[in-house]
């Protein structure tokens, strides 16, 4: 049985410990192959929807980029998106379904299928269900899978480096060394560029930058996720403190594939989901004493909190 790379692609590679333990990640790989595409899409939706806001966050800690004079830094960024309480459970109703897809004894019979239960971030002790109805009468019901981690936090971490100082341009790299898994090579990287416009408009009372960041997570042929952000940043520096904020237009998507086994039949499951968050506003502060430590909050369709620790100049 092949195991889904969902966690390997966007949790095992990028999760910052704590809320989701490694044992729980292995449980997800084992459990999700027990359900089909419709169930898996709803079950994993909180992870898919939170991945974009997480990785599209914490892209700058100051809008100041010199037009002359080298700057560089390296460190790590932490992001955590807070889920709504309703994201810990789901219920999906499908009508005019061939019930034989769920119970061979009902082949050719059309009815309604109701799926529900905890999502992957729901109650780990509960079990979901799939039930079929014909004219309001239940004709089958199956117990499915429980949550992987009972939490409303989806945390991620991204190593980051930057270099800048030529005509106000700063280049950003996010990268984690690839490693082999039982479903293929796991890879994560991101590339971005930001440009400070103050060299053209020196009378501006604050530093202003515009930027773009693109990121990818890939695990073999099983997970392919993309995130992108066009952002505007503003900041005002004081002696050892910088206050900053910004606005971003962003997107994210994830393609997922695995093999579902049911009654001895193997079915290839392959689906794509687009992230729901398209815009965000950000506010944060950076402390610059020996190292740069920043904290920020951003809000769009979801609320994301972030912190970063960077060493350099």
pLDDT at 261: 66
Confidence at residue 1, expressed as pLDDT on a 0 to 100 scale = 28
**Burial (CB count within 10 angstroms: exposed 0-12, middle 13-18, buried 19+), residue 109:** middle
Q: Span 277-295, mean pLDDT?
A: 95
Residue 275 confidence (pLDDT) = 87
Highest mean pLDDT among 40-54, 155-169, 238-252: 238-252
List the structure tokens of 234: 């503003």
pLDDT over 50 at 49, yes or no:
yes
| Domain shared by 57 and 168, yes or no | yes
Helix, strand or coil, per DSSP, at residue 139: strand
Residues 213 and 132 in one domain: no
pLDDT: is 21 or 72 the higher one?
A: 72
pLDDT band at 183 (very low <50, low <70, confident <90, very high): low
Q: Which residues of 233-264 are buried (b: 16+ CB within 10 A; e: fewer)?
A: bbbebeeeebebbbebebbbbbbbbbebeeee
55 and 171 share one domain: yes
Query: 32: alpha, beta or left, given left = phi > 0 and alpha = psi -120 to 50?
Result: alpha
Model confidence pLDDT, tens digit, residues 252-270:
988 877 776 666 677 777 7
> Residue 196: is its pLDDT beyond 70?
yes
Three-class DSSP category at 32:
helix
Residue 25: pLDDT above 70?
no
Distances (CA, A) of 302 to 95, 153, 250, 280, 282: 30, 11, 13, 9, 12
Q: Which two tokens stand for residue 265?
A: 């039949």
For the chain, how many residues are written?
A: 313
Whether 277 and 245 share a structural domain: yes
Taking only the tens place, the pLDDT of each residue in 55-81 is 999 999 999 999 988 899 999 999 999
The rounded distance, in Å, linking the Cα atoms of 229 and 105 is: 50
| pLDDT over threshold 80, residue 15 | no
Q: In angstroms, rounded to a whole number, what is the distance separating the alpha carbons of residues 21 and 44?
A: 17
Confidence of residue 294 (pLDDT cuts 50, 70, 90): very high
Q: What are phi and psi of 266, to 5 degrees?
A: -100, 130
Kindly indicate the confidence band of residue 22, based on its pLDDT and cuts at 50, 70 and 90. very low
58 with 109, same domain?
no
Q: What local confidence, expressed as pLDDT, does residue 32 receive?
A: 58
pLDDT at 3: 36
Same domain, 112 and 246: no
Same domain, 92 and 213: no
Of the CA atoms within 13 Å of residue 190, those in its CB half-sphere come to: 28
Pair 78, 93 in one domain: no
Q: What is the pTM of this model?
A: 0.82
Give how many domains the chain has, as a whole number: 2
Q: Give the residue from 92, 111, 89, 93 showing the smallest Cα distance to 102.
A: 111
Q: How far is residue 190's CA from residue 57's CA, in Å, rounded to a whole number?
A: 12
Same-domain status, 40 and 21: yes
The range of the structural domain enclosing residue 125 comes to: 87-143
Residue 302 confidence class, pLDDT cut points 50, 70, 90: very high
Task: Kindly indicate the confidence band of residue 244, based on its pLDDT and cuts at 50, 70 and 90.
Answer: very high
Which residue did the predictor score with more confidence, 113 or 217?
113
- Average pLDDT over the chain, rounded to whole? 84
| Residue 108, helix vs strand vs coil | coil
Q: Which of 160, 152, 190, 189 is nearest to 302 (CA)?
A: 152
Are 159 and 307 in the same domain? yes
Q: Which of 143, 173, 191 is the last residue of a domain?
A: 143
pLDDT at 31: 58
Percent above pLDDT 90 for the chain: 53
The least confident of 73-82, 93-102, 238-247, 250-259 is 250-259
Residues 133 and 46 in one domain: no
Q: Answer whether residue 1 is part of any domain.
A: no
* pLDDT value for 215: 94
């Amino acid at each position: 049985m092949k195991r889904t790379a969902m966690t390997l692609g966007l949790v095992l590679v990028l999760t910052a410990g704590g809320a989701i333990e490694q044992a729980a990640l292995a449980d997800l790989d084992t459990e999700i192959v027990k359900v089909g595409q419709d169930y898996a899409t709803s079950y994993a939706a909180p992870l898919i929807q939170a991945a974009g806001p997480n990785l599209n966050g914490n892209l700058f800690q100051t809008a100041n980029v010199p037009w002359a004079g080298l700057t560089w830094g390296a460190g790590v960024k932490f992001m955590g998106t807070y889920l709504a309480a309703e994201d810990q459970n789901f219920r999906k109703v499908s009508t005019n379904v061939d019930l034989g897809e769920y119970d061979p004894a009902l082949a050719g019979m059309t009815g309604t299928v109701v799926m529900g239960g905890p999502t992957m971030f729901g109650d780990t002790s509960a079990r979901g269900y799939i039930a079929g109805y014909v004219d309001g009468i239940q004709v089958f019901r199956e117990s499915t899978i429980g949550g992987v981690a009972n939490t409303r936090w989806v945390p991620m971490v991204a190593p980051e480096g930057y270099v800048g100082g030529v005509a106000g341009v700063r280049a950003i790299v996010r990268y984690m060394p690839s490693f082999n898994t039982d479903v293929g090579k796991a890879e994560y990287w991101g590339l971005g560029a930001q440009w400070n416009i103050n060299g053209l408009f020196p009378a501006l009372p604050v530093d202003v930058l515009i930027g773009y960041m693109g990121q990818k997570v890939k695990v073999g042929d099983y997970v392919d996720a993309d995130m992108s952000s066009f952002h505007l940043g503003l900041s005002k520096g004081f002696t050892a403190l910088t206050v900053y904020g910004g606005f971003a237009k962003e997107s994210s998507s994830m393609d997922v594939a695995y093999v579902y086994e049911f009654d001895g039949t193997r079915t290839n499951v392959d689906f794509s989901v687009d992230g729901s968050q398209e815009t965000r506003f950000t506010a944060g502060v950076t402390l610059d004493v020996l190292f740069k430590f920043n904290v920020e909050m951003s809000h769009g369709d979801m609320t994301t909190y972030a912190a970063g620790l960077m060493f350099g100049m």
